[in-house]
Structure 1
Amino acid sequence: MASFLHIGSALLLGAALVNGQTSATTATTTSLAPAQQTVSADSDSGVPLNTAETVQLTTEVLQNLTSQLNQTTVSYFDFGNATAATKRSTTGCKVFPGDWAWPIDFIWDIFDLLLGGRLIKTVPSASSCYPGWGDQSAAECAYVASVWNDSHFHMEDPTSVMWPLYQGRTCLPTGSNVTATCTLGGYPSYAVNVSNVAQIQLAVNFARNLNIRLVVKNTGHDFSGKSAGAGALSIWTHHLKSLRYIPSYSDSTYSGPAVKMGAGIQAQEVYEFAHANGITVIGGEGKTVGVAGGYILGGGHSPLGSIYGLAADQVLALEVVLPDGTFTTVTAATNPDLFWALRGGGGSTFGIVTSLVVKAYPKIGVTVGSITFGTSNVISADTFFEALKTYYSYFDAFTAAGTYVYFWVFPLGNGQYIFETHPFFAVNHTVDQFNTLIQPFVDDLSALGISVTPSGTYYDDFYDAWLAGFPLETVGSTTMLTGSRLFPRENFNNATLLNVTIAAHRQTLEQGYPILAFQMKADAPAGSVPNAANPAFRTMLMHGITSISWPATASSAEILSAMNTMTNDVLGPWRAVSPNSGAYMSESDLLEPNFQQAFYGSNYARLYSLKQKYDPCGVLYAPTAVGSEDWTVSSADGLPDQNGRLCHV
């Protein structure tokens, strides 16, 4: 739309057609411009605001709106934690489509005008496969089906998620949709395609003041449906793509190079940018992970974690829209409480981050290696698990050397197993240094009768090594669920604990469940400012993941049974051998018992207190996020998904 959007003559402006009431101001001819003002780029972070951040909603803009809209309508977009809004939002349920309090189309139209035409009414990403949406097309449906498992498809859609199990399994592109229907399910009703801060502020205020559920989507790349929500308004930050290299950044906590990245930046984008500038930046293993979104806010493990710690440890400053709609800079000096909480305390919780300033490091070389062994006619299952235990016993030495290994252990059936590294990521190692590091392990395998011939390729830059080592992740499944555990150092250094750990993992594999794991450490870097990352990260040497699956035609009851099997029978033994540890919230079992301890540890009480301070209205909710126990979703299918009304407990 153009910058000025016209409302025809005799249109009722400012109609408060909400709650069944009408209060309007009649105008003959008028135009309604986007509700925004360009402000100074100065920031308390010491790094100027990016262009999107200088375009803000201000009290002056709201005051000017009263000449065009009546006071009631303007109040929908006002700042603050009004007592009435707090009371309304913390009792009962969020307003849902079809409720008498749901805004009529006319109010959504005004909202769109104030946004500058950035409001999107949701159409399911596979709508072309079904009648009723006006776009049914066999050719388009076939295309959607062909790219459904590609994360790029979902990240470019304003509301689709990469794990559609949590959307409610409706409107799938293939015959696996057992209901054969196409509804929004857990997709939000509307999304704001954000291009500036003012649009985020308008959306936050609108959702808070009208008690509408609010969700935030960057890429939709998560394992718990955190960016889904039936009847919600979604803030889509995917297109906030600014990047700035700061050769010399300095504050009271750090002095050195840094990078400022917009909230929509993904791993491949920031790695390419760092490569072009001759530096290294910490990000995720997956190509499409939104680095400045839930990844960093949830802690964020990295292929460089054994050397530099978590992604959350790299943050120097954040620009944030708070639940009251205000925009603020968060640093160790300006707001130490939020600076602590936002770095590891979880996404969609304390505010909506628009950009981050993070540390940058010198260019670093990596050897990408490979090791494989498995059962055979001469290698029994017992020998295989002895070899796996031997590998585990090297975790401390390997991580101390700075390595990061993504490894798979697969049950092949009939007592057969295979171990593979994908890859052995030897940071700051030449091929010769890699071979020297692993030779004692190779010798120990040889003593067990297992001959391996490791291979390795050296890359003089992290980006090239990462590109070669980690393939694009497959997404889009509705027939499986993952769960995880962070296993502490003591489980691999103490002989007794090592034995019970390998026994628990053998039980998992013998039952037919795979293990996909990261051998890594994430100790807090020396001199770093403390943050809210799960304390279990600081003692771990293994982030283990497993999965359970079910037929495409499984009923909701059968899926729920499988979920409970994962929680209790599969992950139960893992918890039993690491009772004082936890799990990584971004790659975890949604039904994790006592998630507060598992995902946040001893930090939870402080985090919950800060949640009540900064978000008393409960504007931001996500499954297993801080304060989520105060809410429940009345799911339409009885599964722990987002396909239902959000209500206060």
Structure 2
Amino acid sequence: MSPCSFMTGILFGALLLVTPGDARAGQVASVSVAGAPLFDSEKFQLTDNDIAKLSQHQSALVKFGCDGTNKTTQPTRKCKVFPGDRQWPSQSAWSAFDDLLGGALIKTVPLAASCYSSWPQYDSAECERISSQWTDSYLHAADPASAMWPLFEGRTCLPTTNASASCTVGGYSSYAVNVSNVAQIQLAVNFARNADIRLVIKNTGHDFNGKSTGAGALGIWTHNLKDIEYYENYRGSGYQGPAVKMGAGVQAFEVYEKGQELGFTAVGGEGKTVGVTGGYVLGGGHSPMSSLYGLAADQVLALEVVLANGRFVTVTEESDPDLFWALRGGGGGTYGVVTSIISRVYPKVGVTVSTFNFSTGKDVSVETFWAGVRSYLKRFPTHADAGTYAYFWIMPTGPNAFTFLMNPFFAANHTVDEFNALVQPWYDDLHELGISFQPNSTYYDNFYDGWMAGFALETVASSTMMTSSRLFPRTNWDTPASLNATLNALRATITDGFALLAFNMKAELQEGFTSNSANPAWRQTLMHAITSTSWTNTTSDADIKVKMDGLTKAVGKWRAVCPDSGAYMSESDIQEPHFQQAFYGTNYDRLYRLKQRYDPTALFYAPTGVGSENWVVKSLAGLPDQNGRLCRV
């Protein structure tokens, strides 16, 4: 038998590896070429010596893969092995796998199963609790399989008052590994690859397209890898200065709290529960600090990663420049499972946070309202170049009625007086137009307090809406004509009933930073714009698809005014036309080649991810969700 031959359907017995609590074996040296010690969770690794203890049949499903050069590893089966298939691992195989993991394997129970009498977990009081918290992102982040956008799971088990309704696991992973060490990730990667079952990775489940879901999958849940270590004078990858090492499960509020405690400012998400070290940073990651420092991916100096062959590696510019480039912006769930990253951080920074609104009404006509919006829009280059980040809404509130909501204008490195001086030209125009507004502006001497005051907890888990987005480049501000075309495109979609949520910001690669695979469109962006469509709980699947198609078509007005730009993959339309260009730009061909090198068996699949065009999910509802068998095209 070739050591890299593909084998499936073989039962294996309990494996004889030590548990994480046994420090005598399974431990490796803490030295890392990243220039910082491994976390304790990273020192416990699966090794060739562990596999060598097993019989050939026992090791068949947990042995390491090849290095990516041996094409005999490519399975010939058209679809991933699915529950009910003859090749699906038996219950005894799952039990043995759980023994090896130290009891970390979780059989998925949908978060709302307590609402359904057909499930053993049925409990009306628990159902009421889950229902009352359903839109809270903390609830879903703390579950091994749940996602923030159940539409893309398949909406198979939502909270209900009808206890006799149907609840299935649907597009959630069949099992999940509650990861506490690297060895467990390696075992899960090897098990899924060798059994040819789908593998998904969940950190928090924030991705707008449900990348952490997948019917019949084994999930790797990295949420509890919470280590954070601050280095005041880190040295590595051509950088010397303050840095932070974060485990894969660290969320924005956690690293920001640590920064508040120790006096540093990190480039992380706007949302409180976003997993900073997960798909957020791997997909680029925009931040309230991006106008000053760039994307989160730009800050990364080193990564610890489990590859598709099961090997644990440290990735830096020196150790593997290709993979270092691809991981920083090329998308989550694509090249490996990241266990930690080291990122540069910055000194403490003060910030002014301001909120206000204005609307059409008796004294503000529709044309006057849009003149006020245009006055704001034309100042985007000045505001972004000043290092600010604005989060605003423009919403239709009725026939020929609109509201503008600034919530908030986040001006890092600005006192209130400096902020007022920056926005005074816009304020002067609003006053001249007769638009009344009452700014509420407050200065905070640190990022954390300003961020806490400025950004509310995310509202998630709607199953009756979907989003689309576009990155608008600086060239759209080059002339009055191009600015008018941009405004007209936005106005047309809003007038048609689509709300606009947008960010005025920039995300340029800073001088001296190593280039990465983040969408090149980010480097020219002055506005990240998002819109959405919605329906009711009783809307049929066919009519939902009509709504989804209508949104994709509506955003065509935005694409038409910046055809060479793109969109942010983590906050996007899953039906984005030509997603390769939209999400990856000119980087796509190189990313695709690297995908074939580092993941030749296509273990890692994510919707709209690199190489995803080679696959299709056979959705039971006929929607672009993950509730169906994953098959090769």
Instruction: Give yes or no for contact 1:297–1:312 (8 Å, CA) kept in 2.
Output: yes
Counterpart Cα distance in 2 of 1:420 and 1:435: 18
2:615 corresponds to: 631
Instruction: Give yes or no for contact 1:298–1:346 (8 Å, CA) kept in 2.
Output: yes
1:259 corresponds to: 244
Equivalent in 231, 235, 254 of residue 220 of structure 2: 235
Deviations 1:127-151 (A, max 9, x none): 1111232111111111111111101
Equivalent in 343, 363, 370 of residue 378 of structure 1: 363
Deviations 1:5-35 (A, max 9, x none): xxxxxxxxxxxxx96777x88x9xx976449
How far has the Cα of 1:492 moved from its partner? 2.4
1:281 corresponds to: 266
Counterpart Cα distance in 2 of 1:532 and 1:456: 37
How far has the Cα of 1:167 moved from its partner? 1.1
Equivalent in 402, 420, 423 of residue 387 of structure 2: 402
Deviations 1:488-522 (A, max 9, x none): 11212321111111111111111111000001000
Counterpart Cα distance in 2 of 1:579 and 1:20: 48
More displaced stretch, 442-451 vs 539-548:
442-451
How far has the Cα of 1:421 moved from its partner? 0.7
Provide the secondary structure at the position in 2 that maps to 1:38. Answer: coil
Deviations 1:448-503 (A, max 9, x none): 22233322100000000000000001011100011100001121232111111111
Change (3 A) 1:299 1:47: same
Provide the secondary structure at the position in 1 that maps to 2:488. Answer: helix
Instruction: Give yes or no for contact 2:300–2:344 (8 Å, CA) kept in 1.
Output: yes
Counterpart Cα distance in 1 of 2:210 and 2:458: 17
1:101 corresponds to: 87
The residue type equivalent to 1:156 in the other structure is A
Whether 2:523 is the aligned partner of 1:538: answer: yes
Instruction: Give yes or no for contact 2:74–2:600 (8 Å, CA) kept in 1.
Output: no
How far has the Cα of 1:309 moved from its partner? 0.4
2:4 corresponds to: none
Equivalent in 132, 139, 142 of residue 156 of structure 1: 142
Q: Note the 1:638-649 alignment, pairs <5 A.
A: 638-649=622-633
2:73 corresponds to: 86
1:45 corresponds to: 34
2:447 corresponds to: 462
The residue type equivalent to 2:52 in the other structure is Q
Change (3 A) 1:638 1:371: same
Counterpart Cα distance in 2 of 1:19 and 1:327: 23
Instruction: Give yes or no for contact 1:517–1:543 (8 Å, CA) kept in 2.
Output: yes
More displaced stretch, 422-431 vs 77-86:
77-86
Instruction: Give yes or no for contact 2:8–2:194 (8 Å, CA) kept in 1.
Output: no
2:125 corresponds to: 139
The residue type equivalent to 2:216 in the other structure is G
Instruction: Give yes or no for contact 2:471–2:567 (8 Å, CA) kept in 1.
Output: yes
Equivalent in 84, 96, 103 of residue 110 of structure 1: 96
2:235 corresponds to: 250
Change (3 A) 1:19 1:266: closer
Equivalent in 102, 106, 122 of residue 120 of structure 1: 106
How far has the Cα of 1:610 moved from its partner? 0.1
Instruction: Give yes or no for contact 1:371–1:452 (8 Å, CA) kept in 2.
Output: yes
How far has the Cα of 1:564 moved from its partner? 0.2
Change (3 A) 1:131 1:453: closer
How far has the Cα of 1:91 moved from its partner? 4.2
How far has the Cα of 1:435 moved from its partner? 0.8
Whether 2:602 is the aligned partner of 1:618: answer: yes
Counterpart Cα distance in 1 of 2:259 and 2:143: 27
Provide the secondary structure at the position in 2 that maps to 1:295. Answer: helix
How far has the Cα of 1:176 moved from its partner? 9.4
Whether 2:336 is the aligned partner of 1:351: answer: yes
Instruction: Give yes or no for contact 2:114–2:123 (8 Å, CA) kept in 1.
Output: yes
How far has the Cα of 1:175 moved from its partner? 5.4
More displaced stretch, 129-138 vs 111-120:
129-138
1:608 corresponds to: 592
Counterpart Cα distance in 2 of 1:308 and 1:19: 47
Counterpart Cα distance in 2 of 1:39 and 1:368: 47
How far has the Cα of 1:73 moved from its partner? 2.2
Counterpart Cα distance in 2 of 1:126 and 1:382: 47
Counterpart Cα distance in 2 of 1:412 and 1:359: 43
Deviations 1:210-247 (A, max 9, x none): 10100000011111010000000000000000000101
Whether 2:288 is the aligned partner of 1:300: answer: no
Q: Note the 1:217-616 alignment, pairs <5 A.
A: 217-568=202-553, 570-616=554-600
The residue type equivalent to 2:159 in the other structure is P
Instruction: Give yes or no for contact 1:485–1:574 (8 Å, CA) kept in 2.
Output: yes
Provide the secondary structure at the position in 1 that maps to 2:74. Answer: helix
Counterpart Cα distance in 2 of 1:85 and 1:182: 40
Q: How many residues align?
A: 621
Instruction: Give yes or no for contact 2:330–2:517 (8 Å, CA) kept in 1.
Output: yes
The residue type equivalent to 1:86 in the other structure is T
Deviations 1:337-380 (A, max 9, x none): 01100000000001110000000100000000123211111211
Counterpart Cα distance in 2 of 1:355 and 1:21: 33
Segments ≥4 residues shifted beyond 6 Å:
18-22
How far has the Cα of 1:84 moved from its partner? 8.1
The residue type equivalent to 2:614 in the other structure is D
Counterpart Cα distance in 1 of 2:237 and 2:198: 39
2:3 corresponds to: none
Counterpart Cα distance in 2 of 1:633 and 1:102: 18
Equivalent in 167, 171, 176 of residue 186 of structure 1: 171
1:166 corresponds to: 152
Deviations 1:388-426 (A, max 9, x none): 111000000001111100001010002111111110101
Instruction: Give yes or no for contact 1:366–1:459 (8 Å, CA) kept in 2.
Output: yes
2:47 corresponds to: 58
The residue type equivalent to 1:636 in the other structure is L
The residue type equivalent to 2:617 in the other structure is V
Change (3 A) 1:260 1:379: same
Change (3 A) 1:453 1:209: same
Deviations 1:238-264 (A, max 9, x none): 000000010101234211100000000
Change (3 A) 1:619 1:19: closer
More displaced stretch, 74-83 vs 392-401:
74-83
Counterpart Cα distance in 2 of 1:417 and 1:176: 38
The residue type equivalent to 2:79 in the other structure is C
Provide the secondary structure at the position in 2 that maps to 1:334. Answer: coil
Provide the secondary structure at the position in 1 that maps to 2:397. Answer: strand
Instruction: Give yes or no for contact 2:352–2:414 (8 Å, CA) kept in 1.
Output: yes
The residue type equivalent to 1:639 in the other structure is L
Instruction: Give yes or no for contact 2:8–2:196 (8 Å, CA) kept in 1.
Output: no
Instruction: Give structure 1 stretches of 5+ with no counterpart.
Output: 1-17
